[in-house]
């Protein structure tokens, strides 16, 4: 037993130094390299991962950066990924789809702690508080991996300082696809930084479209037939009080934009704040 233990420890040390060396080589070979610190798979289509944060990187909650891997042609293969972690976190977190034939995600889904990825430290985006006019209530409307920027905004104290009520909706095909968002929201109440701020302010409204769950249907349908407002006990969308941030597929963004505009809300931007802002969740 003792001998076995000694051998195990020795083997582990050798493996450890091998991994460290391999990682160092990979990092040296990549421009803007960051090291993967954790990976979690939720379904065969979804995973999240954490990477080291460049010391100089400052970002506003809701922004995205370009991340990726070196392509076979020796050129970086980069895509826009919303930063899912809050700005005070020492690491960066991302939430990603896995597309079997997606040029990047078919490879990215296999990353392991210790691997290196490329991360261009230039955050940008419109899903930021600066692009919204002050209001009473903010809606975060997400489908699929469009939840990612809200994972950052929901952990930002600014969100609860700016609004009296924060409503986050997340629509996915299946129940398991809600896990990342559901766990994140559940964890907020326990969070030492914002646990108290969240109490009584945050409402979470998950729905599924292809698997039975307590709440079913596309959020666009639930807005159109006013089920969302009846369920939450809030008045219909009103430009005087309500603000919205939207992140999902192209079709979703287009359809919800029409509904928000029909309710009298105008789209904002960093240069000209408005009543709602929109960003496409990256796919592929």
Residues of this chain, 147-206, that bind ligand A2P according to CB under 6 A: 171-173
Alpha-carbon distance of 51 to 115, in angstroms, equals 9
Helix (H, G, I), strand (E, B) or coil at 146: helix
CB 67 to ligand A2P: min, Å: 20
Smallest distance from ligand A2P to CB 203, Å: 19
CB 32 within 8 A of CB 67: no
251 binds ligand A2P (CB under 6 A): yes
Residue 249 touching ligand A2P (CB under 6 A): yes
Count of residues in contact with ligand A2P, rule CB under 6 A: 13
DSSP one-letter code for 282: P
Check residue 209 for interaction with ligand A2P (CB under 6 A). yes
Q: Using CB atoms within 10 A of its CB, is residue 221 exposed (0-12), middle (13-18) or buried (19+)?
A: middle
Of 110, 136, 210, 266, which lies in the binding site for ligand A2P, with binding defined by CB under 6 A? Answer: 210
- Give Cα separations from 48 to 37, 38, 44, 145, 267 (angstroms): 11, 8, 12, 10, 30
Cβ closest to ligand A2P, residue 179 vs residue 249: 249
What mask of x and - would describe binding to ligand A2P in positions 58 to 87, judged by CB under 6 A?
A: ------------------------------
> Which is closer to ligand A2P, CB of 45 or CB of 60?
45
Alpha carbon distance 284, 282 (integer Å): 7
Q: Is 255 in the site for ligand A2P (CB under 6 A)?
A: yes
Q: Can you list the alpha helix ranges (DSSP code H) found in 35-173?
A: 105-108, 148-153, 157-162
Residues in contact with 202: Cβ distance below 8 Å, sequence separation at least 6, in sequence order: 154, 160, 166, 167, 168, 185, 188
Restricting to residues 212-241, name those near ligand A2P by CB under 6 A: 218, 220
Site string for ligand A2P, 121-150 (x = CB under 6 A): ----------------------xx------
**Measured distance CA(48)–CA(197) in Å, rounded:** 26
- Lay out the site mask for ligand A2P across 8-37 (x = CB under 6 A, - = otherwise): ------------------------------
Q: What is the DSSP letter of 145?
A: G
The H or E element containing residue 27 is helix 2-29
- For ligand A2P, the binding residues (CB under 6 A) are 143-144, 171-173, 209-210, 218, 220, 249, 251-252, 255
């Amino acid at each position: 037993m003792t001998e076995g233990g000694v051998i195990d420890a020795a083997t582990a040390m050798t493996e450890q130094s091998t991994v460290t060396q391999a990682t160092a080589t990979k990092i040296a070979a990549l421009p803007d390299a960051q090291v993967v610190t954790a990976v979690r798979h939720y379904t065969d289509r979804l995973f999240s991962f954490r990477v080291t944060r460049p010391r100089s990187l400052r970002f506003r909650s809701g922004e995205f950066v370009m991340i990726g891997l070196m392509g076979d042609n020796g050129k970086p293969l980069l895509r826009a990924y919303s930063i899912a972690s809050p700005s005070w976190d020492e690491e960066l977190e991302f939430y990603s789809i896995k597309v079997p034939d997606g040029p990047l995600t078919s490879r990215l889904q296999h990353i392991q702690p210790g691997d290196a990825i490329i991360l261009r430290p230039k955050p940008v985006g419109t899903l930021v508080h600066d692009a919204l006019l002050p209001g009473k209530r903010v809606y975060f409307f997400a489908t699929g991996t469009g939840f990612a920027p809200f994972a950052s905004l929901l952990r930002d104290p600014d969100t609860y300082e700016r609004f009296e009520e924060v409503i986050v909706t997340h629509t996915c095909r299946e129940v398991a696809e809600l896990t990342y968002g559901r766990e994140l929201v559940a964890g907020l109440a326990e969070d030492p930084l914002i646990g108290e701020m969240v109490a009584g302010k945050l409402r979470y409204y998950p729905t599924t479209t292809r698997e039975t769950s307590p709440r079913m249907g596309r959020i666009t349908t639930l807005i159109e037939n006013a089920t969302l407002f009846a369920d939450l006990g809030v008045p219909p969308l009103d430009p005087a009080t309500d603000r919205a941030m939207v992140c999902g597929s192209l079709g979703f963004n287009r359809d919800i934009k029409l509904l928000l505009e029909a309710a009298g809300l105008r789209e904002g931007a960093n240069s000209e704040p408005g009543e709602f802002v929109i960003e496409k969740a990256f796919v592929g």
